Amino acid sequence: MLKKLTSADYIELENKLGASNYSPLDLVIEKAEGVWLYDVEGNRYLDCTSAFSSVNLGHCHPKLVEALTKQAAISTQVSRALRNTQLPLFYEELTQLTGKNKVLPMNTGGEAVETAVKLARKWAYTVKGIEKNTAEIIVCNNNFHGRTTTVISFSSQQAYKEYFGPHTPGFKIIPFGDIQAFKDAITPNTCAFLIEPIQGEGGVIIPPEGFLKQAEIVCKENNILLMLDEIQTGFGRTGKLFAHHYEEVNPDVLIVGKSISGGFYPVSAVLADESIMDVFKPGDHGSTFAGNPLACAVSRKAMQVLREEKIVENCAEISSYFMEKLKTLKNPCIAEIRGRGLFIAIELDEPARPYCDELLKKGLVCKETHSTIIRIAPPLVITKEQADFIFDCLKQVFEKA
Ligand SMILES: Cc1ncc(COP(=O)(O)O)c(C=O)c1O
């Protein structure tokens, strides 16, 4: 009989054969359900990562399992050389949800951001009238928009870009949330402002109130596209369907990913109205897998579940309950607790990893970001009792004598 592999076996094999471009917690997940993760030895953990906010509807949601497996037996991939029955229905669902009327499907978040950059540049040259190859896009300090070579070119994190030059030109970085800096950075060549409404990987950084609205006005005044990256903040994570709804902003370009498929499949999309999207012509852009029937079927179902199960409302309700409790958490090393919805950061004035390790022992999976920040982002299907469990774990670790 074959020996059953242990967590240690899996870790050894992974470390031996895989590139070391991540430093994961030594937790090997075999099974997951709702907010819970189960390791190889059968231990149960509450997931406060939601796989970087991609599993907002919880792990292995039965309706998504059904949609995925049903479609898998019908047709999985036909490529955009042909048409398929799922793609238009996916477009319909997504445009109704977002209010934008054209969609360009992609697979990963990074690809969707690349797509938005191409869209802004082509719009710059063919609509705004900027001289070819001189368009500029303004972005923010501390941004995270993905890991592709162009996207890291406008990262402010040295570690993300240091050995990966030469970098793509055409980007200007301004401080996040500084409207004057934004105005000062604009030139006649500026075609777009690309921003996360809340910086996620940057540590759940919320811009000053009114910033997004002001940015929208400045964009309009200067004929600049406002491009919001809601890949991490979208689909209810912040307690509203999209984070930009807090300021009733209407972006020209909306970029989504991660939880659009409930985390079942890599799906992303760029949305815009036709006056912008129609600059793309056949041959301008594409991807073999983008818009495949399997991706579309599971994403359609994920958006339906989001509505039918009132996931955004649940997030808002649990968030106000949980944030009140969190405020009572006491430890001198806690510099700040902030967040919107279930997109929460506990910022420490010392390294966060040892706390994450302790939390793991209590049955809570959290991952640090920027070394001193613990991000709490459980699936949005969480109940009050499960939120209490998170709080009890935090209390035990942060308030132990
Ligand atoms: C705001 C934002 N944009 C883009 C990305 C990149 O998405 P992906 O990892 O799917 O390429 C991420 C991933 O964390 C993100 O948070």
- Give DSSP secondary structure letters for 227-250: EEE-TTTTTTTTSSSSGGGGGT--
Contact 224, 191 (CB under 8 A): yes
Closest ligand 1 atom, residue 232 Cα: 16
pLDDT score recorded for residue 400: 80
- From-to residues of CATH 3.40.640.10 in the chain: 63-308
d(CA 146, ligand 1 centre) in Å: 5
d(CA 274, ligand 1 centre) in Å: 25
Rounded Cα–Cα distance for residues 399 and 334 (Å)? 11
Orientation of helix 384-398 relative to helix 353-362, angle to 10°: 120
Q: Model-level pTM?
A: 0.98
**Using CA positions, which residue lies closest to atom 16 of ligand 1?**
232
Rounded Cα–Cα distance for residues 31 and 54 (Å)? 17
d(CA 200, ligand 1 centre) in Å: 9
237 lines ligand 1 (CB under 6 A): no
Candidates 276, 232, 268, 284; CA nearest to 251 is 276
Closest ligand 1 atom, residue 111 Cα: 11
pLDDT score recorded for residue 251: 98
Closest ligand 1 atom, residue 52 Cα: 14
Cβ neighbour number for residue 149 with a 10 Å cutoff? 14
Catalytic residue among 229, 252, 289, 322: 229
Domain 63-308, classified CATH 3.40.640.10, yes or no: yes
113 lines ligand 1 (CB under 6 A): yes
Confirm whether 258 is a catalytic residue: yes
265 lines ligand 1 (CB under 6 A): no
d(CA 144, ligand 1 centre) in Å: 7
Confirm whether 193 is a catalytic residue: no
Cβ neighbour number for residue 337 with a 10 Å cutoff? 17
| Beta-bridge mates of residue 29 | 39
Candidates 382, 311, 365; CA nearest to 35 is 382
| Beta-bridge mates of residue 338 | 345
Can you give the C-alpha Rg of the chain in angstroms?
21
**Using CA positions, which residue lies closest to atom 13 of ligand 1?**
146
pLDDT score recorded for residue 87: 98
- pLDDT tens, per residue, the chain with 401 residues: 678 999 999 999 999 999 999 989 999 999 999 999 999 999 999 999 999 999 999 999 999 999 999 999 999 999 999 999 999 999 999 999 999 999 999 999 999 999 999 999 999 999 999 999 999 999 999 999 999 999 999 999 999 999 999 999 999 999 999 999 999 999 999 999 999 999 999 999 999 999 999 999 999 999 999 999 999 999 999 999 999 999 999 999 999 999 999 999 999 999 999 999 999 999 999 999 999 999 999 999 999 999 999 999 999 999 999 999 999 999 999 999 999 999 999 999 999 999 999 999 999 999 898 899 999 999 999 999 999 999 999 999 998 85
234 lines ligand 1 (CB under 6 A): no
pLDDT score recorded for residue 245: 98
Contact 319, 239 (CB under 8 A): yes
196 lines ligand 1 (CB under 6 A): yes
d(CA 108, ligand 1 centre) in Å: 8
- Pocket perturbation via mutation, ligand 1, pick of 143, 144, 253 by most ligand atoms within 8 A of CB: 144
Q: Is 143 exposed, middle or buried (0-12, 13-18, 19+ CB in 10 A)?
A: buried
Strands of the sheet containing 367-369, edge to edge, are: 334-340, 343-348, 373-376, 367-369
Catalytic residue among 144, 176, 211, 235: 144
pLDDT score recorded for residue 1: 60
pLDDT score recorded for residue 15: 97
d(CA 149, ligand 1 centre) in Å: 14
- Pocket perturbation via mutation, ligand 1, pick of 145, 154, 205, 270 by most ligand atoms within 8 A of CB: 145
| 119: its two tokens | 């869209």
Orientation of helix 293-308 relative to helix 62-72, angle to 10°: 160
Catalytic residue among 258, 264, 289, 389: 258
Confirm whether 273 is a catalytic residue: no
Rounded Cα–Cα distance for residues 54 and 58 (Å)? 9
- In what helix (H) or strand (E) does residue 95 lie, and over which residues does it extend? helix 87-98
